[in-house]
Amino acid sequence: MDQRPLVLALPKGRILDEVMPVLARIGIEPEPDFARASSRKLRFTTNIPDLEIIRVRSFDVATFVAFGAAELGVAGSDVLMEFNYSELYSPLDLGIGRCHISVAEPAALVEADAPQQWSHVRVATKYPEITKAYFAARGVQAECVKLNGALELAPTLGLCERIVDLVSTGATLRANGLVEVARIADVSSRLIVNRTALKTRSDALTAWIDRFAEVTRARAA
């Protein structure tokens, strides 16, 4: 039976810049349109006949792979934690997109704050599931206001007192008068594979996992 080429889902944005050198070392070359900013294509052939690439939003990579629309993908562990899809196997930490997910609040609030007395907090975040689970484990009910970016504005404008967001250098927090008060988890990008595809197209997918692992080991050495 003819099978369609394997589909590798890649996130647009900052991870893409870090993942392209990994693909080059593995020997995957997307068609020229992939690098053309003017191109409106979303699905690309590669130099490998059995491999195509799709470019989607970072949160959607996990969804495309979990539902089998793509067999392989690269996604931040923040996204994987938020969705917690049972259909995803994540065999490899690629060591890119490193940051952490943290609770932050205005510097002025920190001195007066007494976390042990909280019973309810309102938090602006892109990660409502991670946030609710983190606070629930501490006996606190978190009311989450979902934002998709520029979260650091929310406390200064009175939307909420705290945010849960990604932090890397800390420059965005500092520039907006916020400080990190708790680190929820370290984050990095993972190779993800659809579990059903791993059974039905085992040889091809295992070979790709091995190639990604080889290149990741070589980069770390």
Ligand X SMILES: Nc1ncnc2c1ncn2[C@@H]1O[C@H](COP(=O)(O)OP(=O)(O)OP(=O)(O)O)[C@@H](O)[C@H]1O
167 makes contact with ligand PRP (CB under 6 A):
yes
User: Which residues have a Cβ under 8 Å from the Cβ of 186 and sit 6 or more positions away?
Assistant: 77, 98, 100
Position of minimal CB gap to ligand X? 76
Distance, CA of 73 to CA of 115 (rounded, Å): 38
The 152-181 contact track toward ligand X, x by CB under 6 A, reads --------------x-x-------------
Distance, CA of 202 to CA of 194 (rounded, Å): 11
Q: Which range touches ligand PRP (CB under 6 A), out of 31-39, 88-96, 115-123, 170-178?
A: 170-178
Nearer to ligand X among residue 166 and residue 181 (C-beta): 166
Distance, CA of 172 to CA of 177 (rounded, Å): 9
Min dist. Cβ of residue 165 to ligand X (A): 9
Report the amino acid identity of residue 126. K
Which of 169, 218, 220, 221 forms a contact with ligand PRP (CB under 6 A)? 169
Sequence-separated contacts (24+) of 40-49 with Cβ below 8 Å: 43/7, 45/5, 49/5
Q: Which does 165 bind (CB under 5 to 8 A by kind): ligand PRP, ligand X, none?
A: ligand PRP
The 133-152 contact track toward ligand PRP, x by CB under 6 A, reads ----------------xx--
Nearer to ligand PRP among residue 71 and residue 78 (C-beta): 78
Nearer to ligand PRP among residue 15 and residue 204 (C-beta): 15
170 makes contact with ligand PRP (CB under 6 A):
yes
79 makes contact with ligand X (CB under 6 A):
yes
CB of 65 closer than 8 Å to CB of 71: yes
Distance, CA of 8 to CA of 6 (rounded, Å): 7
Q: Which does 35 bind (CB under 5 to 8 A by kind): ligand PRP, ligand X, none?
A: none
Q: How far lies 129's CA from each of 82, 100, 132, 134, 192, in Å?
A: 6, 16, 5, 8, 20
Nearest CA-CA partner of 26 in 97, 92, 99: 92
144 makes contact with ligand X (CB under 6 A):
no
Nearer to ligand PRP among residue 69 and residue 159 (C-beta): 159
User: Which residues have a Cβ under 8 Å from the Cβ of 118 and sit 6 or more positions away?
Assistant: 138, 140
Where do contacts with ligand PRP occur on this chain (CB under 6 A)? Answer: 149-150, 165-172
